[in-house]
Structure 1
Amino acid sequence: MGRKTKSKSIVNSSDQQLTSQLIDDSDWIYPQLANQSIRSLIVTLIIIYYFIYLGNYSLIVSLVSNSVKLISGRGSCSIVIPSSWSKLFHPPVNCSKCETIKEIIEVTNITSEQFESRFAYSMEPLIIRGAIKSNWKALDVFSLKFFQQLYLSTINSDHNQYRCQFFPYSTSYKSLIQALQSIPDQVNYNQSTPWYIGWSNCDPRITSILRQFYHKPQFLPINSEDSRLDWIFMGTPGYGAPMHIDNVGYPSWQAQIKGTKKWILEPPLDCYLNCKRFEVTINPGDIIVLDTNKWFHGTQIVGDELSITIGSEYD
């Protein structure tokens, strides 16, 4: 079974932008409004409200400036926004898929048949506790130093040579190579400057090495095809990913290798009044399965250890 893996996109990403004709995407919101300027203004106000919720004030300033120009006749009906904002203007979500979810199910063992029948392609999150404690060498091998040695010895030291996606989040790093070259391998992370980064691994040389230390989770559907694209997230206590939604095309799993991470799940905007918000803590050896295309999610590293997670998509 063939598959095409989409690049990961998050709503707060500042490095992936395009010019989007918002008024063309908002016909389903207010079709009775014929005046394009008014319609564009309404859409802008919706976005401003949403980014106040996310705490992204720099983008709000840009939106307000554009709206003023639009009203005065000096602006255009298109504005520069992150590509993944298209998620804000999709047709309404079927909220019945999350209305019945009252808690996040946690199990210690599950068969591929049980997983496929209820969790694999639904909107229901799942936690498998201790899923990888006995058969993944990654639990003992993966560390900051491991990734520094692996990437810096495999990839050209010129950070522009590594073309896979990199998420600096709140750090100032411009690339994965720069981050791995700059981050000190400190023992006490509570006394160092906090940081959190994430990246995809699209280099087949590194993939062949990484897959020696972990493998496709046994509970995934038998006929599903696991992506060859690894997603790795690493950081120190107190940091994590801000609330966002992905655009990767498939559900995904993420294994906690080191440290402890708290996940905060928010329902789609359409279902905010109908569906519950959840928080769950993932410990070393646990796996979380989540359709990150449907759930807004944020993370926070808790405890006093470096957090390392690795995951992938499945179809």
Structure 2
Amino acid sequence: MQSNSKEKRILQFRLRQIQKRALEKGLQVRVLKRFNYICFVENKRSESLYLTLIITGGTIILLLLISFGIQYALSCRCLLPLNYLVWEVARPLADCSYCANVTKPIILWNVTRHSFKPYAYSSKPIIVKNSVTHWSAIKYFSYYMFKRLYEATSGSYESLEGCQFLNFKTDLFSLKEVFSMSNARVRNEPGEKPWYVGWGNCHSEILQKVRKYYSIPDFLPEDAEYPATENIFFGYEIGAVMHLDYIPRLMWQGQVRGRKNWIIAPVPECEHECQRIEYYVEPGDVVLLDTRLWYHSTSIPKGQFSITVQSEYG
């Protein structure tokens, strides 16, 4: 009897230690209270006590693992890039006037800075046709041009640490992997997996060289603020999945090669008032969109290779 009593006290002590560690890790007290009776079991058979302790200990450990798993998921860029889930939950409700009665993008031709002024900070989707056809990027930008540039520049891949790289639904997880693909996959030959990636061009030497091939669209406001770098997106078929951008400014994107299809949709609270829209852009076009308010996805027509230059203004 004394042996059983001693054994029970040891088990109760161990359980209290588990509970203490659980509380230190953030488990709520009310959850533990549901199991407190185990520490005060009297006149129970030892087999029952063992079984109850095992089940309870396992439950506490499971709850801790779930808690840690959620915290990890919310902080892990690979699972939820840039904490999109947290940002979406914290996003303020939108005023649906931004999308009310919008059924197609505004299409502009022969735009000057003056004629663009009424549209400059609009939340409506806009396509400015043939506005960057003078970019030499349209002639020279290619997968192999960027590959040669990054491989010839010292520290080019290291410069991407802490800089945005988006692999979308592609099984490539760094720019170095992108530039290590077989020629067959680069050309998206039959039997090869399509690919599509984007990255922030953060290496100052490379940025200086590629900016010789394009410029900020000259119709954008002269007094607007622009980020220090631009993003490059290229690849086949896949495009970006439906998402919002959590950025401080409006987005512009110049289509350098290929055609790109866009699908945009209002935020959930405006679905009763606004509608989904589909459109496409062609080489030389610039698409403008408030991607903080419009959910958007993109895709590239089968067989076409798309390259775009993207940035912000505001």
What is the TM-score normalised by the length of structure 2? 0.71
Q: Which residue of 1 aligns with 2:277?
A: 278
The SS at the match of 1:173 is: coil
Closer/same/farther in 2, CA of residues 307 and 183 from structure 1, 3 Å limit? farther
Distance 1:136 1:154, change over 3 A: same
Structure-2 separation of matches of 1:199 and 1:147: 12
**Runs of 4+ in structure 1 over 3 Å off:** 72-80, 185-188
Using the TM superposition, name which of 220-229 and 305-314 deviates more: 220-229
Q: CA deviation at 1:172?
A: 2.1
Tell me the CA shift for residue 87 of structure 1.
2.2
Q: In structure 2, do the counterparts of structure 1 residues 185 and 121 end up closer, same or farther at CA, with 3 Å as the change threshold?
A: farther
| CA distance in 1: counterparts of 2:221 and 2:159, whole angstroms | 36
Task: Output the amino acid matched with 1:143.
Answer: S
Letter in 2 for 1:264: I
Q: Distance in 2 between matches of 1:161 and 1:109?
A: 38
Is 1:216 matched up with 2:216?
yes
Q: Which residue of 2 aligns with 1:28?
A: none
Return the alpha-carbon distance in structure 2 between the equivalents of residues 254 and 302 of structure 1: 18
Bigger radius of gyration: 2
Aligned match of 2:140: 141
**1:174 to partner: Cα distance:** 2.1
Aligned-partner SS, 2:213: coil
Cα 1:283/1:202, change in 2 over 3 Å: same
Q: CA distance change for structure 1 residues 141 and 252 in 2, over 3 Å: closer, same or farther?
A: same
Which deviations, in whole Å up to 9, do the C-alpha atoms of 1:148-185 show, x marking residues without a partner?
Answer: 0111111447x555322111122222211221122527
- What is the CA-CA distance between 1:225 and the residue it aligns to? 2.8
- CA positional deviation for 1:249: 0.9
Map 1:232-247 to 2 at 5 A.
Answer: 232-236=232-236, 238-247=237-246
Gaps of 5+ in 1: 1-35, 38-68
Taking structure 1 as reference, are residues 300 and 155 closer, same or farther at Cα in structure 2, changes over 3 Å only? farther
Distance 2:127 2:267 in 1: 20
Deviation of 1:190 (Å): 4.8
Cα distance in 2 between the residues matched to 1:131 and 1:102: 23
SS of residue in 2 equivalent to 1:240: coil
* CA root-mean-square deviation: 2.5
Q: Equivalent residue for 1:198?
A: 198
Return the letter of the residue paired with 2:235. Answer: G
Aligned partner of 1:162 in structure 2 is: 160
* Matched residue count: 244
Instruction: For 1:175 and 1:100, locate their aligned partners in 2 and report how far apart those are by CA, in whole Å.
Output: 41
Structure 1 residues 183 and 95: CA distance shift in structure 2, 3 A: farther
Pairwise CA distance, 1:73? 6.9
Distance 1:73 1:213, change over 3 A: closer
Structure 1 contact 207–228 (Cα < 8 Å) conserved = no
In structure 1, the partner of 2:254 is 255
Separation in structure 2 between the aligned mates of residue 211 and residue 286 of structure 1, nearest angstrom: 18
Q: How many percent of aligned residue pairs carry the same amino acid?
A: 33
Distance change >3 Å, CA 130–CA 160, structure 1 → 2? same
Query: How far apart, in 1, do the equivalents of 2:96 and 2:154 lie?
Result: 45
SS in 2 for 1:233: strand
Q: Which residue of 2 aligns with 1:127?
A: 127
Partner of 1:95: 96
Contact 1:190 1:304 in 2 (8 A): no
Residues 275-314 of structure 1 aligned to structure 2 (within 5 Å): 275-314=274-313
Q: Given residue 127 of structure 1, which amino acid in structure 2 is its aligned partner?
A: I
Is the Cα–Cα contact under 8 Å of residues 136 and 215 in structure 1 kept in the other structure? yes
Counterpart Cα distance in 2 of 1:297 and 1:168: 16
Q: Which structure shows the higher helix fraction?
A: 2
Question: Using a 3 Å threshold, how does the CA distance of structure 1 residues 231 and 188 change in structure 2: closer, same or farther?
Answer: closer
CA 142–270 in structure 1, closer or farther in 2 if over 3 Å, else same = same
